[in-house]
Amino acid sequence: MRQALDADVDAGRLRRSDLARPFHGVRVRIHPRADRDDLDPFERQRIERRIRAYEYAPRLRADQFLSHESAVALWGGPLPLTLARGEPVDGRTLPVHVTTLGAGPLVRAVGVQAHRDRSNSVGLARPPGVTLASPETAFVGLGHWKLIDLVALGDYFCRQWRTGYGRPDAGKPPYSTTERLREAVHAARRVGGPRLREAVELIRTDSWSARESQLRCRIVWAGLPEPELNQDVYTDDGRFLACTDLAYPEWKVAIEYQSTLHARRYAQDVERIAALRAAGWTVIEVTSALFSRPDELIVRIRHALAAARSAR
C-alpha cells in the first residue's frame, strides 16, 4: 500500500470495494474467478499457489524470499496434491512460504508459513517484482517430501529440451542440472538429507511430466529394467512414427500415460498408439485409474516384457 501512496494513488481509492486485501498492506484488483475446471487438479492447485505467492511478494523485505512450495509453484514445477477429505483443496487457502535469511525477524502473518535459513549456500532469483529461491535452493528445502515427488521435481528442473520431431522449445536451457542439485544437497545439512541425496541420483533429463517421472520410479523400484524416456520411433524406411512416453525399444514395448484432461489430443493419441501397434509394438495405456493401482500396472508391464522376450 505504501508503494501506491508514494505513486500518488489516492488513499480513498485503496479502500474501494473492487480491491481485495489478501495481506496487510496489499491491495489487488478483484477479477471474476477464472474457471479452471478444465485443468488437471495438480496444475490448478499450482496456479492458485502461484497467485497467492505473487500477492505476498510486495511485502518481502530485503532479507526474505519466497521458498519451498511457493517457489516451486513460481518455477512452474510439479507439486504433490494437497487434499482435504479426499478432495483437492483450493490452492489459495494454502500458506505462502517465506524464508528469512540470517537472524532477521520471521514473518508473523495469517496465511504465511515462515522459515529461516542461516546457511551460506542460498541461491536466489529475482524476476520482475519478486524474489524467490533458485531451483537448487527450492529443491534442498523440500527434504520432507516423498522420494517419488522429489525425483519428479528434479526431473523438471533438469529437463534437457532436445531437438526432435515435434519437440517443443528445442534448445531451451534447463533450470538446473544434476550436478548443481547434487552440489546444493551436499553444501549444508538439510532436513531429509539422505532422501535428497537419493533423489538426485534418480533424476533423469528426458522426462516430460511428473507422471512420467513417477511411472519410471515405480517401474524401477519394482525390479524391472529402466525404460527409455520420450524416444522417437521411426519406420524401417525412416518415417517418423511416434514419440513414446516410456519404452523398451529392444522389445517393442511402450508405456503411455493417458491424462483424463487431454481431450484435444485424444484423436492424435489414438492414431499414434494405433500406428505403434500396427508396427508390432505392445502399448500399455496407463490411465489415472491404473496409475493408482501400481501393483496391477507392474504386472501388466512384466507380462508384456515376458511375452516380447519369448516371441524373439
Condensed to tens digits (0 to 9), the pLDDT of residues 66-114 reads 999 999 999 999 999 999 999 999 999 999 999 999 999 999 999 999 9
pLDDT score of 48: 95
Q: Report yes or no: 143 and 193 within 8 Å, Cβ to Cβ.
A: yes
In order of 58, 89, 102, the CA distances from 131 in angstroms are 10, 26, 16
Check pLDDT > 60 for residue 261.
no
pLDDT score of 35: 55
What's the gap between Cα 256 and its chain centre? 19
Specify the CATH number for the domain of residue 242: 3.40.960
Residue 186 in domain? no
Check pLDDT > 60 for residue 183.
yes
- Give the pLDDT mean for 123-137: 97
Check pLDDT > 70 for residue 37.
no
Residue 280 in domain? yes
Residue 65 in domain? no
Residue 97 in domain? no
User: At 162, is the pLDDT very low, low, confident or very high (cuts 50, 70, 90)?
Assistant: very high
pLDDT tens column, 242-252: 999 999 999 99
d(CA 45, CA 90) in angstroms, rounded, equals 6
Residue 287 in domain? yes
pLDDT score of 194: 97
Q: What share of the chain in percent tops pLDDT 70? A: 88
Number of domains in the chain: 1
Q: Please identify which residue in the block is written with the cell numbers 529437463.
A: 159
- Give the pLDDT mean for 173-193: 95
Higher per-residue confidence, 272 vs 124? 124
Which residues pair with residue 256 across a beta bridge? 285
Residue 261 in domain? yes
Number of helical (H) and strand (E) elements in the chain, helices listed first: 11, 13
User: At 213, is the pLDDT very low, low, confident or very high (cuts 50, 70, 90)?
Assistant: very high
Measured from the Cβ of residue 216, the count of other Cβ atoms closer than 10 Å reads: 25
Residue 256 in domain? yes
Q: For residue 302, what are the domain limits?
A: 207-312
pLDDT score of 6: 41
pLDDT score of 22: 75
Residue-averaged pLDDT of the chain: 89
Residue 93 in domain? no
- Give the pLDDT mean for 29-37: 60
User: At 10, is the pLDDT very low, low, confident or very high (cuts 50, 70, 90)?
Assistant: very low
Higher per-residue confidence, 263 vs 299? 299
